[in-house]
Structure 1
Amino acid sequence: MTVRHASLFSQLTSFFDKSRFQALVNRHGTEKYSKGFKSWDHFVAMLFSQMAQAKSLREISGGLACCLGKLRHLGMKSAPNKSTLSYANNHRSWELFQDIFYETLGLCRQMGLGKHKFRFKNKLLSLDSTTVSLCLSLFPWAKYRQTKGAVKIHMLLDHDGYLPCFVHISDGKTADITVARRLVLSPGSIIAMDKGYTDYKLYDHWSEQDIFFVTRLKNNAKYSVLREVEVPKNRNILSDQRIFLTGGSAQSQCDCLLRRVVVWDPEHDREIVLLTNHLDFGATTIAAIYKDRWQIELFFKALKQNLRIKTFVGTSENAMKIQIWTALTAMLLIKFLQFKSRMNWSLSNLVAFMRWNLFTYRDLWTWIDEPFDTPPPPPPPVQYGLPF
């Protein structure tokens, strides 16, 4: 007997608990003035736009409409028209989609989505931001420079599974360090970041809270060397020093003992000078922690290349945030499938194959392991009588 399955896209949407989803809807009151277009339909439509790479409201509406016979598996009665979807994007709170992202993140954590590659058990995090350029004439609220518009996506990446555990969307003029000061980190955490986040007062605060950081030391930073530590042989570590900051405000804002590690980067033929308050790890581990910070750059690159956050289907701030939060949720789903699959998927290939097979009737977990197998026959078509 042949087992029937819903479409792959339907099985993806089944990851979201409907009762929990409705609780979020009630919390944000997103259906208070709704006239039939449910929040679930809205979310499914925006998720479809990400997974199917739909470039416009017309493509979202038309793409769902042409699959009308398969929408009942998604919990939808009909495809939304363009005006309905546009109005919802402009007026339905983006905070609902933010909460959906964090609910999905919680599900990924429950499933044990990966651990970082280091031997230590400390939580390892990376902090960075990426800028999304916008046309100022279409997005006048996102003024960045005199003739340009932009928004920033600030992200804290958890190296357990390389998943974003904190995201903040701001205008392009918001300084990165402003967001860093708002973070609430657990004692024992290690946070890696570039020198754009230099804030000696924040470093001192983290040191008092037993939070460790690994970053780049500014070229003009003044310091005194307390002692030199022997460096490991046959490694790319040039020096390992215990230092105190001595430059003006730096000394008054951060008077704790710090560590300066100089690493040789053979790929770019240069020295990298690291600053950290972790005094116990080996210098090679400190260098490896900073090198692994590159994973957040790769995450941003994958997000921009494989999902739709560079072109938007709406021009309001609310519509833009809905689209970005939905893209982040889609990325969690894709990385979850990538982690669970026995096949060595690259993320870009998985996104492409998923896009081509969204409405294929196969078991999702079998498909991600054996995508080239012959699919089972589709459900029998409805027979219509011919008039005579």
Structure 2
Amino acid sequence: MDKITRKTSFGQWFSAMNLQLIEDQVKIKKLDYYTKKLRTESSLKLLLFAQLVEVESLHALGDCLFDEQLQKGIELDLISISRLSRRLNSLNPDLFQLLFLDLVGQIHAKTHYTKLVMPSKIIDSSTLPLNLTNHRWAKFRKTKAGVKLHLRLVFMEKGSSYPEKAVITKASEHDRGQLEVLVDDKECMYVFDRGYLDYERFDRMTDDGYFFLSRLRKNAVIREVSDFPLPDDSSVLSDQMVLLGSTQNRTENYFRLLKVADSKGNLLHLITNRFDLSAEEISEMYKARWAIELFSNGSSST
């Protein structure tokens, strides 16, 4: 196992955390008041280590503590699985939120973009299962409980993205209700999937000056208004101006509908209120949505 120093991945990950913030919160909220072993800072380091090496269980994490270098790096020797479980369950979630917001603030301070390089902000949700016996308040099926993590990821360019905002709701709540919370920046392009479809909100977003790109359901009712010409070598199949919805419940604004094929040949219907970009640029923007799938899958591996 690599030594846990600032030069290793582990050391680099933890070096970005505001240790003074952690220390202040520990004192203010007396987080280590009754703790003889596994202090808050050591707990955070241990959780970070578990994520970094993709530890599959508490038992496996306990086995890792036989390594003397890890013990030295997190200032902790061997600990029982039961005590480890109790300590992790007792960690104050407010501390994680403060650390997250502090890290996002650091990223914002080091990130520069202009309207000429408008970033995409990708929105998606992941359902996290919970034990129904212990979390009946989160019941969403007969035998299941869970919560939804709604994540907003800033995508600057390929290989450069970071999480900016997270909202947790009950798994039973519909995704589209979170657009009001997650859409708050007029200098970006919001990209999200069909779970967030809401024609009335699309009208409001357009009226208020927010840009979005989403995917329509195949059975969506549309009214074609006009066709835009495409280059001969375009990978986009069609580019149209449309109205959404039935005659009784139709959008007030005109939108742009693109039909493209994904890597497997499946037909996708993309809807946006951006008319100033080329069809190819819109298509590439939607492909960037995959970044949040990769991020979510990687972060949920433990």
Matched-pair identity in %? 25
TM superposition shift of 1:276 = 0.9
Q: Is the 8 A contact 2:225 2:240 kept in 1?
A: yes
The structure whose Rg is larger is 1
Aligned amino acid, residue 232 of structure 1: P
Aligned amino acid, residue 101 of structure 1: F
TM superposition shift of 1:277 = 0.7
Q: How does 1:1-388 map to 2 (within 5 A)?
A: 6=5, 8=8, 9-10=10-11, 12-26=13-27, 29=29, 31=31, 33-37=33-37, 38-64=39-65, 66-67=67-68, 71-74=71-74, 76=75, 78=77, 80-112=79-111, 120-137=116-133, 140-160=136-156, 161-245=160-244, 247-248=246-247, 250-251=249-250, 254-263=251-260, 265=261, 267-304=263-300, 307-308=301-302
Q: How far apart, CA to CA, are the structure 2 residues paired with 1:129 and 1:266? A: 21
Q: How far apart, CA to CA, are the structure 1 residues paired with 2:86 and 2:278? A: 56
Aligned amino acid, residue 215 of structure 1: S
Q: Is the 8 A contact 1:221 1:247 kept in 2?
A: no
Aligned amino acid, residue 47 of structure 1: L
Deviation sequence 1:234-275 (CA, Å, 0-9, x none)? 212232222233525642xx4112112222x16433432221
| Equivalent position SS for 1:255 | coil
Aligned amino acid, residue 274 of structure 2: H
TM superposition shift of 1:186 = 1.1
Q: Is the 8 A contact 2:125 2:151 kept in 1?
A: yes
Instruction: Check 1:269–1:83 CA distance in 2 against 1; reply closer, same or farther (3 A cut).
Output: closer
Instruction: Check 1:302–1:13 CA distance in 2 against 1; reply closer, same or farther (3 A cut).
Output: closer
**Normalized per residue, which structure has more strand?**
2
Q: How far apart, CA to CA, are the structure 2 residues paired with 1:137 and 1:45? A: 28
Q: Is the 8 A contact 1:200 1:250 kept in 2?
A: no
Q: Is the 8 A contact 2:51 2:299 kept in 1?
A: no
TM superposition shift of 1:298 = 2.1
Q: How far apart, CA to CA, are the structure 2 residues paired with 1:138 and 1:62? A: 27
Deviation sequence 1:74-133 (CA, Å, 0-9, x none)? 4x3655544443333333321211222332333344455x98xxx951121111112234
Instruction: Check 1:184–1:22 CA distance in 2 against 1; reply closer, same or farther (3 A cut).
Output: farther
Structure 1: gaps of 5 or more residues: 309-388
Q: How far apart, CA to CA, are the structure 2 residues paired with 1:208 and 1:26? A: 47
Instruction: Check 1:206–1:147 CA distance in 2 against 1; reply closer, same or farther (3 A cut).
Output: same
Q: Is the 8 A contact 2:242 2:256 kept in 1?
A: yes
Which stretch of the first structure deviates more once superposed, 13-22 or 130-139? 130-139
| Equivalent position SS for 1:157 | strand
Q: How far apart, CA to CA, are the structure 2 residues paired with 1:84 and 1:130? A: 29
Q: How far apart, CA to CA, are the structure 2 residues paired with 1:171 and 1:104? A: 26
CA RMSD between the two structures: 3.2
Q: How far apart, CA to CA, are the structure 1 residues paired with 2:181 and 2:13? A: 34
Instruction: Check 1:256–1:197 CA distance in 2 against 1; reply closer, same or farther (3 A cut).
Output: same
Q: How far apart, CA to CA, are the structure 1 residues paired with 2:195 and 2:268? A: 15
Instruction: Check 1:209–1:26 CA distance in 2 against 1; reply closer, same or farther (3 A cut).
Output: farther
Q: TM-score, normalised by structure 1?
A: 0.65
Structure 2: gaps of 5 or more residues: none
Q: How far apart, CA to CA, are the structure 1 residues paired with 2:201 and 2:285? A: 20
Q: Is the 8 A contact 1:30 1:39 kept in 2?
A: no
Aligned amino acid, residue 282 of structure 2: I
Length, aligned pairs only: 294
Q: How far apart, CA to CA, are the structure 1 residues paired with 2:11 and 2:284? A: 41
TM superposition shift of 1:198 = 0.9
Q: How far apart, CA to CA, are the structure 2 residues paired with 1:73 and 1:268? A: 46
Instruction: Check 1:168–1:266 CA distance in 2 against 1; reply closer, same or farther (3 A cut).
Output: closer
Q: TM-score, normalised by structure 2?
A: 0.82
| Equivalent position SS for 1:236 | coil
Instruction: Check 1:138–1:56 CA distance in 2 against 1; reply closer, same or farther (3 A cut).
Output: farther
Instruction: Check 1:54–1:140 CA distance in 2 against 1; reply closer, same or farther (3 A cut).
Output: farther
Instruction: Check 1:5–1:125 CA distance in 2 against 1; reply closer, same or farther (3 A cut).
Output: closer
